[in-house]
Structure 1
Amino acid sequence: MTSASSRTQLSVNVNKVALVRNTRHLGIPSVVRAAELCLAAGAHGITVHPRPDQRHIRPQDVLDLAGLLKAWPQAEYNIEGNPTQNLMAFIRRVRPSQATFVPDSEDQFTSDHGWNFPQDAGRLKPLIAECRELGVRVSLFMDPLPGQMQAARAAGADRVELYTEPYAAAWGSEGQEREMRRYAAAAQAALEAGLGVNAGHDLNLHNLGAFLARVPGVLEVSIGHAFIGDALERGYGAAVNAYLQCIDQAEAGHG
């Protein structure tokens, strides 16, 4: 995802494609084919979260997708996970464009909180430094807490990924505006600290545009569960187009 563009970039998380595939032993649906179709339709990158229990993305998927992305040099590869578990082995071998550090436990159902500073600084700093030595950008999965952003930058992070489930959960309720203000303030604090801003978790075609129109400087959104649900109805290409249109409409609203 090129930093020269001000357009928010779309990274498609293909975990749920792997989850469906893993229910049988036929190799379908193909994770690589899904990624290829999304990239062909204009997605800017591919995200995976290879958990230790291999419930969806497996080690071979990480390698196969790295091979695919060699044919898409303009696209980015984002690998998520807990760097104290299995993530660093993938980072060292594949050297993706971005590593997103997520503080999940090994048996966690889904990501549900961000890193906390100063408690997590000591264990994160050397791992962030290693990634940067490998030429891999580091994004830290963070709750929308403005006071944490300077500490994330001090730990060496290049970006933060704002954990957006609370915003999504409040969508359409009386709490929506309150959550929107929280995320806008956190993003502004991140920008002032010198961090790039990513966002992800439960963003969808209904709530994404409003988020991007109000939250400053979002460079990238990583969308998986809702995207795959839309792709089941629309097809991969049409789903990518719908999300890109949503992003473009939000950009136009800024103007």
Structure 2
Amino acid sequence: MARLSVNINKIATLRNSRGGNNPDVLQAALACERFGAQGITVHPRPDERHIRYQDVYDLKANIQTELNIEGNSEEEKFVRLVLDSQPAQVTLVPDAAGQITSNHGWDTIKHQAYLQDICALFKGEGIRVSIFLDADPRMVEAAARTGTDRVELYTESYAQEYHHDRERAIAPYIAAAEVAQQAGLGLNAGHDLDLHNLRYFSQHIPGLLEVSIGHALIADALYLGLEETIKRYLALATI
């Protein structure tokens, strides 16, 4: 049964588009918790175009569920933020400067030494570490040598292919998940999972612990309401 962590970046984007504090990011996170979300995910970027660094501290001080902070650990400011706020989990994402959204995972072979060092730093502070990866068994196998606790599979290609050939779409994810299980790694997933493709993914991926969903969930909430939307995602994730 995978846990649902709601990514609230898009709520912060809406707030920032007008200035002020409407919608209130913290109140939205607390509502997500109240409606059943089992975690809150944020992905602050250096320009603070959605989640602001202060949001992270406010969330950590007030939410009761797990806080997952995603971001590029090669940015010194991000590392300080994680160490200062002490989230339950940090997810290492290799974002380029100015990147609109995450679009690839780490090359855990090429960056093995760096990932070993940064994993050790965060784990030394008692923070669970997850590395964002493409669904490539080689990258999962190499991730196991970094000391990470988990890997998060980047699911955009699955979502894009799902409506054309869902068996082909999920095949590399099953293979990657099996390697993760054999290596003793926890398994997360995220990016473009939605009400259409989540059930099939949850049913077929062995050892899935957590899905992180933001854009689709917040968009669905415009039509269904936040409480009903979270209930529907929970029903699909916790099969």
TM-score bracket for this pair, using the shorter chain length: over 0.9
Q: CA deviation digits over 1:156-209, x for unaligned, max 9?
A: 1100000000000112113x3212111011011111111000000000010000
SS at match of 2:212: strand
Identity %: 48
Question: Which residue of 2 is the match for residue 181 of structure 1?
Answer: 171
Superposed displacement of residue 118, structure 1: 1.6
Q: CA deviation digits over 1:18-60, x for unaligned, max 9?
A: 0000011221011111100010011000000000111100011
Question: Which residue of 2 is the match for residue 147 of structure 1?
Answer: 138
- Letter in structure 1 aligned against 2:86: R
Whether the aligned pair in 2 keeps the contact of 1:168 and 1:207 (CA below 8 Å) is: yes
Distance 1:238 1:87 in 2: 33
Distance 1:43 1:26 in 2: 26
Task: Please list every run of 5 or more consecutive structure 1 residues that lacks an aligned counterpart in the other structure.
Answer: 1-6
Question: Which residue of 2 is the match for residue 3 of structure 1?
Answer: none
User: Paired residue for 2:190, among 200, 223, 245?
Assistant: 200
User: Paired residue for 1:104, among 95, 111, 114?
Assistant: 95
Distance 1:107 1:124 in 2: 22
Q: How many residues align?
A: 238
Superposed displacement of residue 150, structure 1: 2.0
Question: Which residue of 1 is the match for residue 209 of structure 2?
Answer: 219
Q: CA deviation digits over 1:78-134, x for unaligned, max 9?
A: 000010113211111011000000000121111010001321112121111010010
SS at match of 1:170: helix
Tell me, yes or no, if structure 1 residue 231 matches structure 2 residue 225: no
Distance 1:182 1:151 in 2: 16
SS at match of 1:22: helix
Whether the aligned pair in 2 keeps the contact of 1:34 and 1:236 (CA below 8 Å) is: no
User: Paired residue for 1:43, among 37, 41, 52?
Assistant: 37
User: Paired residue for 2:105, among 111, 114, 117?
Assistant: 114
Distance 1:68 1:89 in 2: 20
Distance 1:150 1:81 in 2: 22
Q: CA deviation digits over 1:126-150, x for unaligned, max 9?
A: 1110100100000000000112222
Distance 1:244 1:213 in 2: 13
Comparing 236-245 and 76-85, the one that deviates more: 236-245
- Letter in structure 1 aligned against 2:47: D
Question: Which residue of 1 is the match for residue 48 of structure 2?
Answer: 54
Question: Which residue of 2 is the match for residue 14 of structure 1?
Answer: 8
Task: Please list every run of 5 or more consecutive structure 2 residues that lacks an aligned counterpart in the other structure.
Answer: none
Distance 2:237 2:90 in 1: 23
Q: TM-score, normalised by structure 1?
A: 0.91
Distance 1:149 1:193 in 2: 8
User: Paired residue for 1:29, among 23, 27, 32?
Assistant: 23
Distance 2:159 2:19 in 1: 35
User: Paired residue for 1:82, among 72, 97, 101?
Assistant: 72
Whether the aligned pair in 1 keeps the contact of 2:202 and 2:236 (CA below 8 Å) is: no
Distance 1:154 1:123 in 2: 12
Distance 1:118 1:26 in 2: 44
Distance 2:121 2:218 in 1: 33
Instruction: Return structure 1 stretches of 4+ with deviation > 6 angstroms.
Output: none
Whether the aligned pair in 1 keeps the contact of 2:177 and 2:206 (CA below 8 Å) is: yes
Question: Which residue of 2 is the match for residue 157 of structure 1?
Answer: 148
Q: TM-score, normalised by structure 2?
A: 0.97
